[in-house]
Structure 1
């Protein structure tokens, strides 16, 4: 077994590999760029080597720098994680030439399966069901349009060397093909150094289901069940689960055996994933094979009990698989949420900055539920513009799907992040969505259920009553603290706090009555007469209220604001204020502050680089016309006119780096 390995990656996957290596008694080497000098993976590793500037092309993608780091430290093997060099055959070959083991598949498998165009050809030859498409290299937009016309719309354009949704566009018309081809090539070149793009038929209302395979260097290959990854936005996965609510045992076996046959055909000898696009009728077509560890591997680990990173390391060291297919048993259900630094209210555009607070929920197993948080950040760390915006992967495992979903909802409610925008409110609301809970999924789920983007949910029904009750509990705790402040002037009568209160959740008000019970607070709603019993050990200052409401466990985030609290729960964030009856009457007379009018400006929706300005001062534009392109985290975002406008002024130039809400241009 190796004594020391180097992780040629960063962030949560580098931390994940380090954890398993530690448990195996293996020393680890981290590599880092200028942007990552204070990163968590650098702190966790046994030693660390500096490899260059923040841009990946000058650090994490430079093969010679990785090899030099191995030679400096005596690392015998390299785990590539995912992304970066993980699927580069040239990297595996360079390591081999220098006597360093690649913890991944053989070069032949990478070449056959790592390239999307070549893998389709290989799958066809191996009689694996594939999606109709054109597998050759396309040189011009005109050629792409001609091919798309022949296949039939809609089509999808994909970067041959792509992954993670980069270099991918869906087109429903000839015009969209021409524009999407240019954007896909540009993103592919920026992200992977390879601008080849191919076209295939886009399956309407599809599901994304993948099979995890594991092979060794002795010809053994097994499959470890499937993962459903249909909840996506911009072709990038947001939530994954294992197993899939669509599959039955017969379909699972058929897909698994087909994945194993494909893996054996290329002598696959590591962890890998065969991805399929599936119809709602359980039909399925080969999509691609990822010759690396997947982002969503934790859900497979939790339902099988198999550490995939450990298996990759053992296989790379030449050990045969100890597991046989009949040893693989699927136990329970696992849900994974990808927590991104992005603003769901701005169409999920990236957000960057410092993590002023980062308090994930407690990990471990309790009452049949496991909570796991894979992360590569820490409180006080920075989310950089240079890399993927993922903050963490929150995973819950339980005996069945709905219990795992409810556990995920509670864990999200307890996940505190301040300093940047993030997608937890969206993920929390999704856990309550009936279509998600029913398992009626497709890759179009987010576009269909949130056609106008995500808007913060309003406090309604039982969720509102729970939040109002907790607001009353929090206010009552502050009042109790006030009663016991030392050094107060003595009065003939003690200060009395009214048990009759009014809780305002935004503009909605609830009249309540409080009653202390042993170890609990009873909150009775005057209208309707129903009451909630709250039990909690929460004390003022804690960012998360954890407790029981009528015997059920709930979590809510509490942030102090002027004269009240900001409470977040179940996808709802609302300002809560608690008054006496008289205070409520006065509060209702307060004038409402109106937001500033920004309707005549184009604001930068996220921190990014201005790649292009498509307009001039005085130019008249129609709704839908492109205005500018802003690049953030290697994604190119074209900003368009929302209505007919005339350009008054330009406030930036191409090449400028802008902050969120910076003015790009003004309109007449």
Structure 2
């Protein structure tokens, strides 16, 4: 067994690998860039080595710096985590040339599966179902249009070396191909150094299901059940679970055996994942097709660990050291249900735009931070994998994921309920985040039914996300809560000494405006009345508290509180509610106040996020129509097309192509 390993990664995955290595008695070495000098993974490791400036291309993506760090510290092996160098065959070869072990599959398997075009050919030869499509070289946009027409719309354009949702475009028509082909090539080149693109048939009503495989160097390859990864946005996974509510035991066996056959065909060992697209329209479950193989640890590996009791990182380390797997296929079971939500630095209330900046407040829910797979028994639990800390920064240089929230319970509904409770207790300020959106997914009736496809988010929130709709009962509880908070605030204010005419008594009657409705709240010594009906609500509160854990009708209710000028912002159950609270005797007067109209900014094209202006598609004097592309912003390695909202003429260009543009900066003006 190794005595010291280096983790060639950062953030939550580096922390997660370090924890398992420490439990195994293995010393760890972290590497860090300028942006990560004070990051948790640096503090958690036994040693840390500086490897360069913040951009990954100058630090984490340079094999020579990783190898130099190994030599300087005496690390015998490297665990790559995911992303960065984890699927670069040349990196594995360079390590082996220096006598350093790679905790992952052989270079030959990485090379075979890393080329999406060649991997599909290999899969077909191994007897794995593959999606119909064109696997040859595509010369240019015109060639792409011809191929797409031959396959039949809709089609998916994918970067050959792509992954993680990057370098993918769905095309429903020739127009989409013409608009997206070059963008797909650019994303592939900028993210993976390879601009080759292939085109395949888009499976409608698709489910994204993946099979976890695990092998040793002695010829044993097993499958560790499946994960359901259909909840995606822009091909980026948002929620994963294991097992899948769709997969039957017979499907599981067929998928697993095909995926093991593919792994065996490329001489695979270590952990890996075969991704499959499954037609939800086929009730037999036989319409599943190979998408790609990820020759590394997956972001969503914790849900597999939770239901199997197997620590995948430990098994990767043991396989790299030459040990045999200590179990057989018949030993792999399914215990309970696990769900993982990815907490991203993105604002769902603003079209899911990336949101970078400082974590002014970061207080995650109570979790078994060091929970080891297999130690759950039958008690539901929360696991949190993160690599950030309060005061830290979510940088433009790396992935916007803040944390992974994992819940395990005996049943799917219990695991989802636990997600809602834990998400309510998540406190993040300083940047936008998707906690409310994740909670809304967990409560969504269609999610609860298990009726999932990769179009789930677009179909359930076609007009964008505006918060989960509150039930009437929740509105009553929040109105009562707001009345009690206002009473506590007024009671505190009246105790200030030296007030004219003495201290006034606190008001006991309030008008609470919530969700566009006015509710009358009365506070007495014995009860709380909302619109004349009693509400059962109990909690402890001191003015200044940011989080309240209450009992509403004997059910737990966690609410985040932010005071506002005329009330409170209350956030719970997947939505934030701006609540106005006025004394009942003063509320009628408020109806005579003139509301300030917001300025009309529709004539400006405003940059919605910090990023690089990679494309400016119009010039001064151009006539534009609604929906026409005006500019393209690259943020966190993803291209975002900004379109005209109405007809007009471009009167001024305020930014130049190639410039870094701040959030809310004006790119151009229209008349």
Q: Of residues 446, 466, 471 in structure 2, which corresponds to 1:435?
A: 446
User: Could you tell me how far apart the structure 2 residues matched to 1:207 and 1:496 are?
Assistant: 61
User: Could you tell me how far apart the structure 2 residues matched to 1:460 and 1:402 are?
Assistant: 19
User: Could you tell me how far apart the structure 2 residues matched to 1:598 and 1:295 are?
Assistant: 40
Aligned twin of 1:338: 342
Aligned twin of 1:213: 213
Cα deviation code 1:564-613 (max 9, x no counterpart):
21101122212223333102223333322222211111000111011121
Q: How many residues of Structure 1 are paired with residues of Structure 2 in the alignment?
A: 660
Aligned twin of 2:666: 663
**Contact 2:10–2:32 (Cα < 8 Å) also in 1:** yes
**Where in structure 2 are the equivalents of 1:227-238 lying within 5 Å?**
227-238=227-238
**Where in structure 2 are the equivalents of 1:344-359 lying within 5 Å?**
344-359=348-363
**Where in structure 2 are the equivalents of 1:351-430 lying within 5 Å?**
351-364=355-368, 368-430=379-441
Cα deviation code 1:462-521 (max 9, x no counterpart):
2212221222333344355557x58678999x854343332222642211233446xxxx
Cα deviation code 1:101-133 (max 9, x no counterpart):
101011121122222111101011011111101
User: Could you tell me how far apart the structure 1 residues matched to 2:512 and 2:627 are?
Assistant: 44
How far apart are 1:346 and its partner, in Å?
2.6
Residue 631 (structure 2) pairs with residue 628 (structure 1): yes
Change (3 A) 1:595 1:425: farther
What SS is found at the alignment partner of 1:472? helix
Cα deviation code 1:228-275 (max 9, x no counterpart):
110111111011111111111111122112212221222211111111
Aligned twin of 1:591: 594
How far apart are 1:284 and its partner, in Å?
0.8
Residue 564 (structure 2) pairs with residue 553 (structure 1): no
User: Could you tell me how far apart the structure 1 residues matched to 2:407 and 2:540 are?
Assistant: 24
**Contact 2:15–2:386 (Cα < 8 Å) also in 1:** yes
**Contact 1:231–1:445 (Cα < 8 Å) also in 2:** yes
**Contact 1:6–1:77 (Cα < 8 Å) also in 2:** yes
**Contact 2:124–2:130 (Cα < 8 Å) also in 1:** yes
Q: Of residues 519, 543, 565 in structure 2, which corresponds to 1:510?
A: 519
Could you tell me which runs of 5 or more consecutive residues in structure 2 were left unpaired when the two chains were aligned: 369-375
RMSD: 2.0
**Contact 2:479–2:521 (Cα < 8 Å) also in 1:** no
Aligned twin of 2:161: 161
**Where in structure 2 are the equivalents of 1:79-118 lying within 5 Å?**
79-118=79-118
How far apart are 1:541 and its partner, in Å?
2.2
How far apart are 1:457 and its partner, in Å?
4.6
Q: Of residues 536, 539, 542 in structure 1, which corresponds to 2:542?
A: 539
Moved over 4 A (4+): 457-460, 479-483, 485-492
**Where in structure 2 are the equivalents of 1:102-501 lying within 5 Å?**
102-280=102-280, 281=282, 282=285, 283-364=287-368, 368-457=379-468, 459-479=470-490, 481=492, 496-501=505-510
User: Could you tell me how far apart the structure 2 residues matched to 1:41 and 1:203 are?
Assistant: 40
User: Could you tell me how far apart the structure 2 residues matched to 1:93 and 1:516 are?
Assistant: 75
Residue 650 (structure 2) pairs with residue 654 (structure 1): no
User: Could you tell me how far apart the structure 2 residues matched to 1:621 and 1:462 are?
Assistant: 47
User: Could you tell me how far apart the structure 1 residues matched to 2:525 and 2:123 are?
Assistant: 68
How far apart are 1:322 and its partner, in Å?
0.6
Between 89-98 and 498-507, the greater mean CA deviation after superposition: 498-507
Residue 578 (structure 2) pairs with residue 578 (structure 1): no
User: Could you tell me how far apart the structure 2 residues matched to 1:392 and 1:158 are?
Assistant: 27
How far apart are 1:535 and its partner, in Å?
2.3
What SS is found at the alignment partner of 1:540? coil
Between 228-237 and 421-430, the greater mean CA deviation after superposition: 421-430
**Contact 1:459–1:505 (Cα < 8 Å) also in 2:** no
Cα deviation code 1:643-664 (max 9, x no counterpart):
2211011111112211211111
Aligned twin of 1:16: 16
User: Could you tell me how far apart the structure 2 residues matched to 1:372 and 1:473 are?
Assistant: 33
User: Could you tell me how far apart the structure 2 residues matched to 1:179 and 1:288 are?
Assistant: 25
Could you tell me which runs of 5 or more consecutive residues in structure 1 were left unpaired when the two chains were aligned: none
User: Could you tell me how far apart the structure 1 residues matched to 2:644 and 2:28 are?
Assistant: 51
What SS is found at the alignment partner of 2:166? coil
How far apart are 1:627 and its partner, in Å?
0.8
What SS is found at the alignment partner of 2:536? strand
Aligned twin of 1:604: 607
TM-score of the aligned structures, taking structure 1 as reference length = 0.95
User: Could you tell me how far apart the structure 1 residues matched to 2:500 and 2:167 are?
Assistant: 71
Cα deviation code 1:114-157 (max 9, x no counterpart):
22111101011011111101112223112222221111111101
**Contact 2:566–2:582 (Cα < 8 Å) also in 1:** no
User: Could you tell me how far apart the structure 2 residues matched to 1:189 and 1:359 are?
Assistant: 37
Change (3 A) 1:169 1:541: same
Change (3 A) 1:398 1:532: farther
Between 58-67 and 27-36, the greater mean CA deviation after superposition: 27-36
Residue 68 (structure 2) pairs with residue 59 (structure 1): no
**Contact 2:490–2:507 (Cα < 8 Å) also in 1:** no
Aligned twin of 1:526: 531
How far apart are 1:458 and its partner, in Å?
5.5
Change (3 A) 1:583 1:593: same
Cα deviation code 1:182-210 (max 9, x no counterpart):
11110011001111111111101100000
Between 555-564 and 496-505, the greater mean CA deviation after superposition: 496-505
**Contact 1:273–1:290 (Cα < 8 Å) also in 2:** yes
**Contact 1:604–1:661 (Cα < 8 Å) also in 2:** yes
Between 430-439 and 499-508, the greater mean CA deviation after superposition: 499-508
